């Protein structure tokens, strides 16, 4: 695949970007260099190599999820500015049409 000015103009239009002539030429050069690097990676023999899911063999150590402090329903509602017997009361923010 070759990157040319027409491709850059199409990409710029799709991404809603604007390039002057100098920037457009720099983009052509940069994208061609990136594509040549990817093509170079295709030359590497990867037969018999398993794809990596993670880059390291480290295992994440997680702690048990234990409730440390538990508050009652009444204590939670006590700190609310507005509540009824069971629920927090908040201002209406959805309009019915």
Residue 29: CATH number of its domain? 1.10.20
- Is residue 26 included in any domain, yes or no? yes
Q: For 42-81, where are the alpha helices, taking DSSP H only?
A: 73-78
- Is residue 83 included in any domain, yes or no? no
Contacts of 1 (CB under 8 A, 6+ apart): 35
- Is residue 80 included in any domain, yes or no? no
Backbone angles phi, psi at 37, to 5 degrees: -65, -45
pLDDT of residue 49: 87
Q: For the segment 8-60, what is each residue's pLDDT rounded down to a tens digit?
A: 999 999 999 988 989 999 999 999 999 999 999 888 898 988 888 888 888 88
- Is residue 14 included in any domain, yes or no? yes
């Amino acid at each position: 695949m070759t990157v040319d000015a027409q491709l850059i103009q199409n990409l710029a239009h799709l991404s809603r970007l604007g390039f002057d002539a100098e920037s457009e030429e720099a983009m052509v050069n940069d994208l061609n260099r990136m594509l040549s690097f990817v093509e170079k990676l295709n030359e590497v023999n990867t037969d018999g190599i398993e794809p990596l899911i993670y880059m390291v063999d480290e295992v994440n150590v997680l702690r048990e999820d234990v409730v440390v402090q538990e508050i009652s329903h009444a204590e939670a509602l006590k700190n609310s500015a507005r509540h009824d017997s069971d629920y927090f009361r908040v201002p209406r923010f959805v309009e019915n049409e």
